Amino acid sequence: MNKSYNCRKTIILLIVIIFITVVTSGVFSKTKWKIHDTTRPVSPVITPGTAGSQDTPGQPPSDAIVLFDGRDLFQWRSMDGSPAKWIVNNGCMECVKGSGYIRTARNFGNCQLHIEFATPTPPQGTGQGRGNSGVFLMGKYEVQVLDSYENKTYTDGQCSAIYGQYPPQVNVCRKPGEWQSYDIIFHAPVFNDKKELVKQADMTVFQNGVLTQDHVKLTGPTNWTRQDPYTYHPEKMPLSLQDHGNPVLYRNIWIRELPAPRNSEHAPRPEYTLSMNTLKQFPGLYEYGSDSFLNIKMEDNELLAAVGSNDFHPIYAESDTKFFSKHVDLELEFKVSGDTVTGVDFFIAGGKIEAKKVK
């Protein structure tokens, strides 16, 4: 009797301790805003896009970054950074067999992506050989593009599958040759300072306006016959489209970086992946003042900068010659004469320093 009373007392005490811990740890804590707080920042006003038809693509919303509007491949490169070899015809871009994947010049992480595609008509081939391409978020996480209209294949490889991981909830494919759309919400994986995974990537996909992937958590990069584990990568990387040997068409591609900025001052800084040939010109020692140096080196295809005896930090390209750091208030603009880098102007903590390349 006494024993069970004590036991009950202990359980009640434990419940009280857990309750207090949960409340004080902020699980139920409110945001800093009061309900209906009139001082809360106003959402930015943007103009919505328009719906398209089979004949005409719609308009993107006004704050989207347009990646392809039917005119040119200005925003696209081959994977090594050289000009993209797909062709543009009648307002569409077409995958050219053997030309390789293409990627955006600009890097993206968390995003809302709209992309339209049409698989070849009349259809040729079967299974994975029919109208195969793919949308690779960060060049690693594929939403399969396939002609899955009356075409059997393994379900985690059909159209709208997260390739090798999640079949779509429904098969909502249109016929070959008809325009289809993907609207994708993607959150990049998160890695900590030790480059360990702390949050998996997730993806929500609408195909032709119908939900096919509901906030699924990716097990790692997508691959054929393998489920690879996550390995560290930067928080933004180019988006790529697959050349699987089939002349799949694309049109009306636009992207919004997430979260949407509350105002233009907080708009994400554009970041690009340059070709190795461009990057290779920059490493070296740059001298300023008397015997002071800015040191640029390359590691794992990334440029790193150190001012004086400070640690090296990755620097990110915002154009072919301009770079910035995300860790310190450092901006660099390299001076290039012909094929030679002669120096760099760098801005650190607001001050401008000119340096000459000496090595």
User: With respect to Mg ion, which residue has the nearer C-beta, 67 or 145?
Assistant: 145
Q: Which two tokens stand for residue 66?
A: 């347009």
Q: Which stretch binds Mg ion (CB under 5 A): 71-79, 109-117, 134-142, 195-203?
A: 134-142
Please tell me the distance from the alpha carbon of residue 167 to that of residue 144, in angstroms, as a whole number: 10
Shortest Cβ 354–Mg ion spacing (Å):
49
Please tell me the distance from the alpha carbon of residue 164 to that of residue 158, in angstroms, as a whole number: 9
User: With respect to Mg ion, which residue has the nearer C-beta, 144 or 325?
Assistant: 144
User: With respect to Mg ion, which residue has the nearer C-beta, 75 or 144?
Assistant: 144
Task: Spell out, one character per residue from 98 to 117, where the chain touches Mg ion: x when CB under 5 A holds, - when not.
Answer: --------------------
Shortest Cβ 257–Mg ion spacing (Å):
25
Selected binder of Mg ion within 57, 120, 131, 134 (CB under 5 A): 134
Shortest Cβ 356–Mg ion spacing (Å):
49
A 10 A CB-CB count for 292 gives: 12
Strand-pair partners of 78: 102
Q: Does 139 bind Mg ion (CB under 5 A)?
A: no
Task: Spell out, one character per residue from 213 to 242, where the chain touches Mg ion: x when CB under 5 A holds, - when not.
Answer: -----------------------------x
A 10 A CB-CB count for 268 gives: 16
Q: Which two tokens stand for residue 97?
A: 């067999």
User: With respect to Mg ion, which residue has the nearer C-beta, 134 or 168?
Assistant: 134
Q: Which two tokens stand for residue 105?
A: 């010049």
User: With respect to Mg ion, which residue has the nearer C-beta, 135 or 344?
Assistant: 135
Using left for φ > 0, alpha for ψ between -120 and 50, and beta otherwise, residue 282 falls in alpha
Q: Which stretch binds Mg ion (CB under 5 A): 139-147, 189-197, 225-233, 350-358?
A: 139-147
Please tell me the distance from the alpha carbon of residue 190 to that of residue 10, in angstroms, as a whole number: 40
293 sits in which H/E element: strand 292-299
Give residue number: closest CB to Mg ion: 134
Cβ–Cβ < 8 Å for 176, 148: no
Q: Which two tokens stand for residue 23?
A: 């409340």
User: With respect to Mg ion, which residue has the nearer C-beta, 242 or 325?
Assistant: 242
User: With respect to Mg ion, which residue has the nearer C-beta, 101 or 288?
Assistant: 101
Residue type (1 letter), 57: P
Q: Which stretch binds Mg ion (CB under 5 A): 58-66, 129-137, 220-228, 251-259?
A: 129-137
User: With respect to Mg ion, which residue has the nearer C-beta, 110 or 144?
Assistant: 144
Q: Which stretch binds Mg ion (CB under 5 A): 68-76, 124-132, 232-240, 319-327?
A: 124-132
- Phi/psi at 238 (5° precision): -65, 150
Nearest to 95 by CA among 57, 146, 158, 168: 146
Please tell me the distance from the alpha carbon of residue 275 to that of residue 331, in angstroms, as a whole number: 20
Q: Please report, as residue ranges, which positions from 237 to 256 form the binding site for Mg ion (by CB under 5 A).
A: 242
Contacting positions for Mg ion (CB under 5 A) = 132, 134, 144, 242
